[in-house]
Structure 1
Amino acid sequence: MGGILIVDDAAFMRMMIKDILTKNGYTVAGEAENGAVAVKTYEELRPDLVIMDITMPEMDGIEAVRKIKASDPSARIIMCSAMGQQAMVIDAIQAGARDFVVKPFQPERVIEAVRKALAS
Protein backbone atom coordinates (compact mmCIF):
# COMPACT_ATOMS: atom_id res chain seq x y z
CA MET A 1 0.00 0.00 0.00
CA GLY A 2 2.84 2.42 0.77
CA GLY A 3 2.54 5.72 2.56
CA ILE A 4 3.64 6.56 6.07
CA LEU A 5 2.40 5.16 9.37
CA ILE A 6 2.37 7.65 12.25
CA VAL A 7 2.67 6.24 15.77
CA ASP A 8 2.20 8.45 18.83
CA ASP A 9 -0.02 8.19 21.90
CA ALA A 10 -0.92 11.89 21.65
CA ALA A 11 -3.56 12.58 18.99
CA PHE A 12 -2.40 16.20 18.58
CA MET A 13 1.15 14.96 17.84
CA ARG A 14 -0.16 12.59 15.19
CA MET A 15 -2.12 15.46 13.70
CA MET A 16 0.94 17.72 13.69
CA ILE A 17 3.09 15.11 11.95
CA LYS A 18 0.31 14.32 9.48
CA ASP A 19 0.05 18.01 8.69
CA ILE A 20 3.81 18.32 8.04
CA LEU A 21 3.78 15.23 5.80
CA THR A 22 0.70 16.04 3.73
CA LYS A 23 1.82 19.64 3.18
CA ASN A 24 5.00 18.20 1.69
CA GLY A 25 3.20 15.79 -0.62
CA TYR A 26 3.50 12.58 1.41
CA THR A 27 0.65 10.12 1.90
CA VAL A 28 -0.29 9.06 5.43
CA ALA A 29 -1.23 5.38 5.31
CA GLY A 30 -2.45 5.14 8.89
CA GLU A 31 -2.05 6.02 12.54
CA ALA A 32 -1.52 4.07 15.75
CA GLU A 33 -1.67 5.18 19.38
CA ASN A 34 0.82 2.71 20.85
CA GLY A 35 3.43 0.14 19.91
CA ALA A 36 1.07 -2.84 20.03
CA VAL A 37 -1.35 -1.20 17.60
CA ALA A 38 1.62 -0.07 15.48
CA VAL A 39 2.87 -3.65 15.01
CA LYS A 40 -0.61 -4.86 14.00
CA THR A 41 -1.18 -1.88 11.70
CA TYR A 42 2.24 -2.32 10.10
CA GLU A 43 1.37 -5.94 9.26
CA GLU A 44 -1.90 -4.83 7.65
CA LEU A 45 -0.66 -1.78 5.74
CA ARG A 46 3.00 -2.52 5.00
CA PRO A 47 3.77 1.21 4.82
CA ASP A 48 6.92 2.64 3.18
CA LEU A 49 7.92 4.28 6.44
CA VAL A 50 6.98 4.46 10.12
CA ILE A 51 7.38 7.55 12.29
CA MET A 52 7.41 6.13 15.82
CA ASP A 53 7.24 7.81 19.21
CA ILE A 54 9.47 6.27 21.87
CA THR A 55 7.44 6.59 25.06
CA MET A 56 3.93 5.15 24.81
CA PRO A 57 1.64 3.05 27.01
CA GLU A 58 1.17 -0.72 26.49
CA MET A 59 4.22 -1.16 24.25
CA ASP A 60 6.92 1.44 23.78
CA GLY A 61 8.47 2.42 20.48
CA ILE A 62 11.66 0.44 20.97
CA GLU A 63 9.80 -2.83 21.55
CA ALA A 64 7.59 -2.04 18.53
CA VAL A 65 10.67 -1.43 16.36
CA ARG A 66 12.08 -4.83 17.40
CA LYS A 67 8.81 -6.59 16.56
CA ILE A 68 8.35 -4.82 13.21
CA LYS A 69 11.98 -5.44 12.19
CA ALA A 70 11.60 -9.12 13.16
CA SER A 71 8.66 -9.51 10.77
CA ASP A 72 10.08 -7.21 8.07
CA PRO A 73 13.86 -6.64 8.21
CA SER A 74 13.60 -4.00 5.47
CA ALA A 75 11.16 -1.85 7.47
CA ARG A 76 12.08 1.84 7.54
CA ILE A 77 11.46 3.50 10.89
CA ILE A 78 12.21 6.99 12.20
CA MET A 79 11.95 7.59 15.95
CA CYS A 80 10.50 10.65 17.67
CA SER A 81 12.01 11.49 21.01
CA ALA A 82 11.65 14.20 23.57
CA MET A 83 14.73 16.03 24.79
CA GLY A 84 16.86 13.97 27.17
CA GLN A 85 15.96 10.56 25.72
CA GLN A 86 19.38 9.98 24.15
CA ALA A 87 19.85 6.57 25.75
CA MET A 88 16.47 5.41 24.42
CA VAL A 89 17.30 6.77 20.96
CA ILE A 90 20.49 4.68 20.97
CA ASP A 91 18.43 1.60 21.95
CA ALA A 92 16.01 2.35 19.10
CA ILE A 93 18.80 2.72 16.53
CA GLN A 94 20.30 -0.57 17.75
CA ALA A 95 16.86 -2.16 17.41
CA GLY A 96 16.81 -1.08 13.78
CA ALA A 97 15.48 2.48 13.53
CA ARG A 98 17.13 4.53 10.77
CA ASP A 99 16.95 8.03 12.19
CA PHE A 100 15.33 10.15 14.85
CA VAL A 101 13.71 13.56 15.17
CA VAL A 102 13.45 15.47 18.42
CA LYS A 103 10.30 17.09 19.80
CA PRO A 104 9.28 19.88 19.48
CA PHE A 105 9.42 19.15 15.77
CA GLN A 106 11.02 21.35 13.18
CA PRO A 107 9.11 20.55 9.99
CA GLU A 108 12.28 20.81 7.85
CA ARG A 109 14.03 18.23 10.04
CA VAL A 110 11.07 15.84 9.86
CA ILE A 111 10.94 16.09 6.06
CA GLU A 112 14.72 15.71 5.77
CA ALA A 113 14.59 12.51 7.88
CA VAL A 114 11.64 11.17 5.84
CA ARG A 115 13.34 11.94 2.53
CA LYS A 116 16.57 10.29 3.69
CA ALA A 117 14.84 7.17 5.05
CA LEU A 118 12.77 6.67 1.90
CA ALA A 119 15.84 7.07 -0.33
CA SER A 120 17.81 4.40 1.53
Structure 2
Amino acid sequence: MRYFFSGVLAAVLLFAGCATDVANRYYGTVKYPPKEPKDVELLWRSPSREFDVIADFQSRGESPNDMRKHAAKIGADAVIVAILGGSYDLGDEWAGRDSKAKTYTRITGTAIKYK
Protein backbone atom coordinates (compact mmCIF):
# COMPACT_ATOMS: atom_id res chain seq x y z
CA MET A 1 0.00 0.00 0.00
CA ARG A 2 2.87 2.36 0.81
CA TYR A 3 4.30 1.84 -2.70
CA PHE A 4 0.94 2.65 -4.24
CA PHE A 5 0.79 6.04 -2.51
CA SER A 6 4.42 6.72 -3.38
CA GLY A 7 3.61 5.99 -7.03
CA VAL A 8 0.58 8.30 -6.95
CA LEU A 9 2.65 11.07 -5.37
CA ALA A 10 5.36 10.65 -8.02
CA ALA A 11 2.75 10.84 -10.81
CA VAL A 12 1.22 14.02 -9.36
CA LEU A 13 4.63 15.68 -9.12
CA LEU A 14 5.48 14.62 -12.67
CA PHE A 15 2.29 16.11 -14.10
CA ALA A 16 2.68 19.28 -12.03
CA GLY A 17 6.16 19.71 -13.48
CA CYS A 18 4.74 19.53 -17.02
CA ALA A 19 2.20 22.30 -16.44
CA THR A 20 2.46 25.27 -18.76
CA ASP A 21 3.64 28.49 -17.13
CA VAL A 22 0.54 30.63 -17.66
CA ALA A 23 -0.41 34.07 -16.35
CA ASN A 24 -3.64 35.83 -17.27
CA ARG A 25 -4.86 39.31 -16.29
CA TYR A 26 -8.42 40.42 -17.04
CA TYR A 27 -9.41 44.10 -17.10
CA GLY A 28 -12.78 45.77 -16.63
CA THR A 29 -16.04 44.46 -15.31
CA VAL A 30 -17.90 43.78 -18.57
CA LYS A 31 -18.17 40.09 -19.45
CA TYR A 32 -18.60 39.38 -23.16
CA PRO A 33 -20.10 36.20 -24.59
CA PRO A 34 -17.56 33.67 -25.93
CA LYS A 35 -16.80 33.48 -29.64
CA GLU A 36 -15.51 30.85 -31.98
CA PRO A 37 -11.70 31.11 -32.26
CA LYS A 38 -11.98 31.52 -36.05
CA ASP A 39 -13.95 34.75 -35.42
CA VAL A 40 -11.11 36.33 -33.42
CA GLU A 41 -8.53 38.19 -35.51
CA LEU A 42 -4.92 37.15 -34.96
CA LEU A 43 -2.76 40.30 -35.11
CA TRP A 44 1.00 40.81 -34.87
CA ARG A 45 0.79 44.56 -34.08
CA SER A 46 -1.76 47.04 -32.79
CA PRO A 47 -4.56 47.75 -35.25
CA SER A 48 -5.14 51.27 -36.60
CA ARG A 49 -8.73 51.39 -35.35
CA GLU A 50 -9.56 52.22 -31.74
CA PHE A 51 -9.86 49.43 -29.20
CA ASP A 52 -9.99 48.61 -25.51
CA VAL A 53 -7.70 46.04 -23.93
CA ILE A 54 -9.78 43.44 -22.08
CA ALA A 55 -7.07 40.95 -21.06
CA ASP A 56 -3.42 39.99 -21.28
CA PHE A 57 -2.17 36.42 -21.48
CA GLN A 58 1.36 35.07 -21.25
CA SER A 59 2.59 31.53 -21.42
CA ARG A 60 5.36 29.12 -22.25
CA GLY A 61 4.79 26.25 -24.63
CA GLU A 62 1.68 27.63 -26.35
CA SER A 63 1.08 28.86 -29.89
CA PRO A 64 -0.50 31.97 -31.44
CA ASN A 65 -3.64 29.90 -32.02
CA ASP A 66 -3.73 29.08 -28.30
CA MET A 67 -3.73 32.84 -27.62
CA ARG A 68 -6.62 33.15 -30.08
CA LYS A 69 -8.54 30.45 -28.18
CA HIS A 70 -7.98 32.23 -24.85
CA ALA A 71 -9.24 35.49 -26.38
CA ALA A 72 -12.28 33.76 -27.90
CA LYS A 73 -13.32 32.41 -24.50
CA ILE A 74 -13.71 35.97 -23.20
CA GLY A 75 -15.37 37.41 -26.32
CA ALA A 76 -12.47 39.42 -27.75
CA ASP A 77 -12.63 40.78 -31.29
CA ALA A 78 -8.89 40.25 -31.80
CA VAL A 79 -5.70 39.21 -30.03
CA ILE A 80 -2.34 40.92 -30.52
CA VAL A 81 0.40 38.30 -30.27
CA ALA A 82 4.06 38.80 -29.41
CA ILE A 83 6.58 35.98 -29.37
CA LEU A 84 9.46 36.66 -27.03
CA GLY A 85 12.63 34.63 -27.15
CA GLY A 86 12.19 33.44 -30.70
CA SER A 87 11.29 30.17 -32.33
CA TYR A 88 13.76 27.43 -31.71
CA ASP A 89 14.20 23.76 -30.96
CA LEU A 90 15.30 22.95 -27.43
CA GLY A 91 18.42 21.33 -28.92
CA ASP A 92 19.42 24.46 -30.88
CA GLU A 93 22.22 26.50 -29.38
CA TRP A 94 23.23 28.92 -32.13
CA ALA A 95 20.66 31.38 -33.46
CA GLY A 96 22.02 31.24 -37.00
CA ARG A 97 21.54 27.46 -37.15
CA ASP A 98 17.97 27.18 -35.82
CA SER A 99 15.81 24.31 -36.97
CA LYS A 100 12.21 24.92 -38.00
CA ALA A 101 10.65 23.82 -34.70
CA LYS A 102 7.92 25.88 -33.04
CA THR A 103 9.07 26.16 -29.44
CA TYR A 104 8.99 29.63 -27.88
CA THR A 105 10.49 30.80 -24.64
CA ARG A 106 7.50 33.09 -23.99
CA ILE A 107 4.38 34.13 -25.90
CA THR A 108 1.99 36.91 -24.99
CA GLY A 109 -1.46 37.84 -26.22
CA THR A 110 -3.40 41.04 -25.66
CA ALA A 111 -7.14 40.49 -26.11
CA ILE A 112 -8.94 43.55 -27.47
CA LYS A 113 -12.46 44.73 -28.16
CA TYR A 114 -13.01 47.27 -30.95
CA LYS A 115 -14.78 50.53 -30.06
Which band: TM-score by shorter chain?
under 0.3
Answer 1 or 2: which has greater helix percent: 1
Answer 1 or 2: which has greater strand percent: 2
Of structures 1 and 2, the larger Rg is shown by: 2
State the TM-score, normalizing by the size of structure 1: 0.25
